[in-house]
Structure 1
């Protein structure tokens, strides 16, 4: 090889090595630690590293994200935030108020996010008119997942009303199958109640109670009925629920140890990883009474101002990747959710996802599209935590009445 060519080759190798050495670490705090979620995190890591960036994993277990948020606060207070963190809903605005977030408006404008995102979601991703968050999906929360064989065993149809639900649950119990799988964790109890409240009271009631935090509605007969219905479900759960993670409850349905689970569509990722087929092995139906409504939960990442030089390039690379069609498709196929971008084809998605997408659009048109308060999308963390406490105590209490719990919800709504 001529000397000039050798010199050019050596320079290229040196340049590549220097670039790799200078690739700043992008530390990513997330709580995608179960099957379908963990697979999605690995995909994002691979795509980011293909852009020449270095992914540093900061995974914190706990499906509700509470542990992750505690870890995040500790790091930010110490002046050493991660480059990116999985944050959503009102918490984005709270971190914006602290002045610690990195604006990514340039990435959003280049990607035409305002055109691609539903306005209800775009607003959540902005702080004072500027994008600071990148959304990756839309989860439907008010799902009921059903083991198809368990339903056939008692010759029943998916329950459309609460009366239907309890009739099916009674038949399953008599057949020796645990009717409802749940994990005894505050967020799981709260999510179950949220779906019950929507199904019992409808979207107008839901908005008055949880969007407006209207005192009269929180203490109303409709809220009492919702609480009574919620507590009645406990009779159809097992004694081993305390501390059980959500994916372990999903596994009970997958394995036929339980028949049904109230859970957002991240549960579908667990069915997919287990090789189960919707419509054959399991059924996805709206929680009773909420067929025309849609409680949404959007996963998103925000980016923190960090001191390490060169990290901003990786942060903005990641923001662009999160909203890229390739990641939106692959991520949501793994996760069980639907793309937040409105232009991604659903050709590769299953019937549950297609139903979710159709219901999302129709609920948006008829007033039935509501954010999930149980999943950080609506009320402040303080109010959410207070609601969790009220519902958890009511779920475990043998003596507390539904009216007493409703009165406590009204008080909890005033939490600062």
Structure 2
């Protein structure tokens, strides 16, 4: 018995030295993917990271703003996570400029990111020549999803091919006693609906003049006023219960066939999938009208808070390579509703809408950065205020136009 104790003690002493070299690279990761579909998606990254020799420590925080605020507070407080989710936008530019992030240049070089990522994504993650974020997907925030049974009931035989046909289809849905447009009256939903209208009605050139160039003449043009007018036309096709409604509750109206259409990001597909509805069979999707309509690019990425600790830096690099690997990106997007950030991926296993998105985004002329890639967060907030005022009040388009111009000045 004593001999056994002695042997156990000797083993206990011997183990740390052997295991020390093989300790998994622990990565505390902050993200805001908390819904059922999102949790299943992020699990793909966690499993891949663990298999690659890491130890994923999940730190899910409900709400994007709250998650980002927690990340920044922890960086400032000296308890930074190894990685944190941000959108591929200007959201993390401030913390880059304040020297709060590590770059992952060598991972980007090894993965040939400059060759496999679309330009809007590169422009968001590459700052002053360095790569400060690992992009995991592309979300298109302006998809049109529709219920096939609702379209059938309303006598709509084919997908609308232009804006006026779309408005006519909403009219038919209304006449059939359905809610034409499932809408969630929250500030961010009003903004992405406006941006979807802007892309298809205003077109790529006007959109870039306004959001990228802050061109006052373009904002004050009649063409831009028409975008506001067409956006407000949609107000006549939403139901009285829309104010304050969550996006997923609006999606549920299309899922049940109570409503005809929802304009929403491709994350809405998770709700259709959860209800066992199949794209192309039970519901349809189109990202705009016609073969040249712009495809708005948004998405998610991980950033890597500043650290000089060798194990943290190793963990960051391992994580950056894992989440940008083709297999991880496909597995994640299949559950998230997005498409992979990489353009060199075969999306045969993805749904019909995702495959359509993948084919479109390979056409550089259709890639359109979403406004958050072009406009700083504070100005984006000011624009949201302008649009919610216009949507919810009896305000003239000219007044909204002036307020929009003022918000984009400077």
The TM-score, its normalising length taken from structure 1, stands at 0.89
1:131 to 2:131 alignment = yes
Name 1:392's counterpart in structure 2.
388
Q: Distance in 1 between matches of 2:66 and 2:289?
A: 31
User: In the aligned structure 2, how far is the partner of 1:356 from the partner of 1:59?
Assistant: 28
The 5-angstrom pairing of residues 207-246 of structure 1 reads 207-246=208-247
Alpha-carbon deviation of 1:394?
A: 1.1
Q: 8 Å contact 2:135–2:302 — kept in the other structure?
A: yes
The answer (yes or no) to whether the contact 2:54–2:315 under 8 Å persists in 1 is yes
- Between 1:16-25 and 1:258-267, the stretch displaced more is 16-25
Shift in alpha-carbon separation, 1:178–1:331, aligned structure 2, 3 A: same
CA contact (8 A) 2:120 2:369 kept: no
Cα deviation 1:291-311 (Å, max 9, x = unaligned)? 521111121111102477733
Which residue of 2 is the match for residue 262 of structure 1? 263
Are residues 123 and 205 of structure 1, via their aligned partners in 2, closer, same or farther at CA, if it must alter by over 3 Å?
closer
**Is 1:46 matched up with 2:35?**
no
Contact 1:383 1:413 in 2 (8 A): yes
**1:188-337 alignment, distance < 5 Å:** 188-288=189-289, 292-306=293-307, 310-337=311-338
Deviates more, 1:79-88 or 1:285-294: 285-294
Describe the shift of the 1:412–1:52 C-alpha distance in structure 2 as closer, same or farther (beyond 3 A).
same
Contact 2:155 2:172 in 1 (8 A): no
Structure 1 pair 389–20 and aligned structure 2 pair: CA distance change class (3 A): farther
The runs of 5 or more residues in structure 1 that have no matched partner are none
Structure 2 residues without counterparts, runs of 5 or longer: none
Q: How many angstroms apart in 2 are the aligned matches of 1:207 and 1:163? A: 23
Task: Tell me: CA distance 1:410–1:278, structure 2 relative to 1, closer, same or farther (3 Å).
Answer: same
207-216 or 73-82, larger mean C-alpha shift: 73-82
Displacement of 1:361 in angstroms is 2.0
Q: Deviations over 1:74-99 (max 9, x none)?
A: 33343333221112222232221010
**Paired residue secondary structure (2:373):** coil
| Whole-angstrom CA distance in 2 between matches of 1:230 and 1:290 | 22
Equivalent residues of 1:132, 1:303 under 8 A apart:
yes
Structure 1's consecutive aligned runs of 4 or more residues displaced over 6 angstroms after TM superposition are: none
CA 1:303–1:75: 2 relative to 1, 3 Å: same
CA contact (8 A) 1:23 1:310 kept: no
Secondary structure of 1:124 counterpart? helix
Is the contact between residue 104 and residue 131 of structure 2 (CA under 8 Å) also seen in structure 1? yes
Mapping for residues 131-150 of structure 1, pairs under 5 Å? 131-150=131-150
Secondary structure of 1:29's match? strand
